[in-house]
Amino acid sequence: MNPLRRPTLAVTVVVFFLLAAACAPGGDAPSGPQTATTIAPESTTTSPFSADFRVEIGTVDRPGEFRATLRCGLGEEATGYLVDLSQQACDHLSTSDDARRLLQEGPAADRACTEIYGGGEIAQINGTLDGVAIDVAIDRTNGCGISDWALLQPILVQPYDLARQNAAADCSAAVAPTLARDQGELPPVVSEVRWAS
């Protein structure tokens, strides 16, 4: 055998064993069927949605007609007018980016709003939402306020106009002044119909 060819044969054998060792885990020859290993991406941990705030709704003349508190996150809790609606309110806040943005950032100051009066209601919302302090007042004195109220409807009462309701109550028959019975001379039939109503 040619002595010059021996080193080439030795190098070939060494390379073969190195390749075999690199392909087999732990340097052993592979045995049985091989399966591909998938490396899962690192899980990103997001903090759960949380809310803890109080709501007061009324008018300028009668603030705080309705009051409630709401807690969302690990279980839902509510008081006041939201006591039976806590799940619905928390679900809405956890899924509505627009509602959370409105509460955290407040209404945009530069919005163009229609001059449509929706009622005298004012809602004051204070507390925290996803760790961000919130202090927002929503009213229905123009189109933007009406839209904001509709967006936050699950945490607010149905729109109503307390000023108009109070005025109606003040004008109701319960507080109407008593009419004097002396109407002068009326025919008896007319007089009976008049006082029967």
Q: Could you read off the pLDDT of 39-92 as tens digits, one per residue?
A: 555 544 455 789 999 999 998 888 888 999 999 998 899 999 999 999 999 999
Q: Is residue 181 part of a domain?
A: no
14 domain-assigned: no
**How many domains, the chain?**
1
CA distance 135 to 117: 23
Q: State in Å, rounded, how far the first CA of the chain is from the last one.
A: 135
More confident residue, 97 or 159: 97
| pLDDT on residue 99 | 96
Examine residue 195 and state whether it is found in any structural domain, yes or no. Answer: no
Predicted local confidence at residue 9, as pLDDT: 47
**What's the pLDDT score for residue 36?**
47
Mean pLDDT across the chain, nearest whole number? 75
Per-residue pLDDT reduced to its tens digit, 33-49: 554 454 555 544 455 78
Structural tokens at position 156: 């607010």
Q: Does the residue 5 lie in any domain?
A: no
Q: Please indicate, yes or no, if residue 61 is contained in any of the structural domains.
A: yes
Q: Is position 80 within any domain?
A: yes
Q: What pLDDT sits at residue 157?
A: 85
Put residue 64 in one of left, alpha, beta given phi > 0 → left and psi -120 to 50 → alpha: left
**Structure-model confidence comparison of residues 141 and 10, the more confident one:** 141
Give pLDDT, residue 128: 96
Q: pLDDT digits over 125-149, tens only?
A: 999 999 999 999 999 999 999 999 9
Does residue 60 lie in a domain region? yes
The CATH number assigned to the domain holding 105 equals 3.30.350.10
Range of the domain at 109: 51-163
Smallest CA-to-CA distance from 47 within 70, 78, 15, 74 is with 74
CA distance 139 to 149: 7
Share of the chain above pLDDT 90, in %: 45
Buried b (16+ CB within 10 A) or exposed e, 132-161: eebebebbbbbbbbbbbbebbebbbbeebb
Q: Taking the model in full, what pTM does it have?
A: 0.59
Collapsing DSSP to helix, strand or coil, 162 comes out as helix
| Range name among 57-61, 163-167, 172-176 with the lowest pLDDT average | 172-176
Task: Supply the pLDDT for residue 49.
Answer: 85
